[in-house]
Amino acid sequence: MVITVTGGAGFIGSNFIFHMMKKYPDYRIICLDKLTYAGNLSTLDAVKDNKNFRFVKADICDREAVYKLFEEEKPDILVNFAAESHVDRSIENPDVFLQTNIMGTAVLADACRKYGIKRYHQVSTDEVYGDLPLDRPDLLFTEKTPIHASSPYSSSKAAADLLVLAYNRTYQLPVTVSRCSNNYGPYQFPEKLIPLMIANALNDKPLPVYGEGINVRDWLYVEDHCTAVDLVIHKGRVGEVYNIGGHNEMRNIDIVKLICKELGKSESLIKYVEDRKGHDMRYAIDPTKIHDELGWLPETKFEDGIKKTIGWYLENKTWWETIISGEYRSYYNKMYGSKC
């Protein structure tokens, strides 16, 4: 089996590669990644010398490069993790999100049509559903929840989902789509909430929290997500969407306070900043479908996963300190510098 993983040098993509190479040592795994600011080749050091692994630096929008890879490797499955994914950046510069998340998906789908594929899997997000009210804990996103995206990021992902599903109906391309809740765990780029708070707290720097910090997210440990995607690409029904949720709803401010407690840092580091434009209030996924059809349930409780995550960042300071000393620093100063 040959599997191409796009965006495999990023957070979830790299964890998926580790999962697949450990579980299926006979599979050939091809990682295609543009290596933007969020892609880090050193993340893949543990597998780079494996005979069944190949890294290709390319942009999924580059049709010639993508087609060349398909001609060379003839993948059986393509899993598309490649995406611009940070909401704040999408508000600052929507264009790159439209290019990568929509046009890049179109190039990949066309390549799968042209060269044949057993499965094209599109990794998406619960953010395509918009948000839920804080005072209705009974409401959850299901696969039948109407798409109601709030940001340029989530709109671009919703468009990609619809495009992939249209390729299934129009061209009979064998596709599946998964929509996950907020992931956390090792190798997450430190612009996202949890690694940002860990890194700042360790350096005794302000912990910027949007608004009152009451926004709720459903947190999914990245290894549980990888297990779910593995099941979908092997056993999921073609043309179907599967929601992947963690059953771990937490307010942003409570997560930040928990990180302070785990690291022995004062909550005085917390600084409330002007709220994000169009900030969704609550995400919550109902994963009944993937459980009933494929037997998947999240295994990691948040209190366990956050301890493992904090431990990883403590043990791998070189990895994230190298990142925050580079291009990310200027972006961080632009977004939060004057607010803290």
Residue type at 286?
D
Q: Where are the alpha helices (DSSP H) in 203-301?
A: 222-235, 252-263, 288-294
Residue 148 has pLDDT above 60, yes or no: yes
pLDDT at residue 332, as a whole number = 46
Tell me, rounded to whole angstroms, the distance of Cα 310 from its chain centroid.
Answer: 18
Question: Which residue, among 5, 15, 4, has the nearest Cα to 189 in the 3D structure?
Answer: 15
The SS3 of residue 285 is: strand
Q: What is the mean pLDDT of residues 128-146?
A: 95
- For the stretch 24-77, pLDDT in tens is 999 999 999 998 877 788 899 999 999 999 999 999 999 999 999 999 999 999
For residue 107, count other CB atoms closer than 10 A to its CB. 18
- For the stretch 253-285, pLDDT in tens is 999 999 999 999 999 999 999 988 888 899 999
pLDDT at residue 338, as a whole number = 54
pTM of the model: 0.92
Half-sphere exposure of 166 (CA within 13 A, CB side): 9
User: Where does the pLDDT of residue 15 fall: very low under 50, low under 70, confident under 90, or very high at 90 and above?
Assistant: very high
The beta strands (E) that lie in the chain are given as 2-6, 28-33, 53-57, 77-80, 119-125, 175-180, 182-184, 207-210, 216-221, 241-244, 249-251, 270-273
Cα distance between residue 223 and residue 279, in whole Å? 27
- For the stretch 105-122, pLDDT in tens is 999 999 999 999 999 999
Q: What percent of the chain has pLDDT over 90?
A: 82
Cα distance between residue 29 and residue 50, in whole Å? 10
Question: Which residue, among 210, 212, 186, 178, has the nearest Cα to 289 in the 3D structure?
Answer: 178
Cα distance between residue 331 and residue 340, in whole Å? 14
User: Where does the pLDDT of residue 192 fall: very low under 50, low under 70, confident under 90, or very high at 90 and above?
Assistant: confident
Cβ 65 vs Cβ 58: under 8 Å: yes
Distance in angstroms between the alpha carbons of the first and the last residue of the chain: 50
Distances (CA, A) of 174 to 3, 62, 83, 229, 236: 15, 22, 21, 15, 11
Residue with tokens 């993983």: 5
Cα distance between residue 127 and residue 84, in whole Å? 13
Q: What percent of the chain has pLDDT over 70?
A: 94
pLDDT at residue 14, as a whole number = 97
Across the chain, what does the average pLDDT equal? Answer: 93
User: Which range, of 67-71, 94-98, 234-238, 268-272, averages the lowest pLDDT?
Assistant: 94-98
Classify residue 275 by its DSSP letter: P
Cα distance between residue 47 and residue 62, in whole Å? 25
Q: What is the mean pLDDT of residues 79-90?
A: 84
Tell me, rounded to whole angstroms, the distance of Cα 4 from its chain centroid.
Answer: 17
Backbone angles phi, psi at 220, to 5 degrees: -125, 120
pLDDT at residue 205, as a whole number = 95
Residue type at 153?
Y
Cβ 286 vs Cβ 126: under 8 Å: no
pLDDT at residue 326, as a whole number = 63
Residue 335 has pLDDT above 60, yes or no: no
DSSP calls for 136-184: -TT--B-TTSPP---SHHHHHHHHHHHHHHHHHHHH---EEEEEE-EEE
User: Where does the pLDDT of residue 86 fall: very low under 50, low under 70, confident under 90, or very high at 90 and above?
Assistant: low
- The residues that are catalytic are 126-127, 153
- For the stretch 283-333, pLDDT in tens is 999 999 999 999 999 999 999 999 999 999 999 998 988 887 665 456 446
Q: What is the mean pLDDT of residues 88-104?
A: 88
Q: What is the mean pLDDT of residues 227-234?
A: 98
The SS3 of residue 94 is: helix
The SS3 of residue 282 is: strand
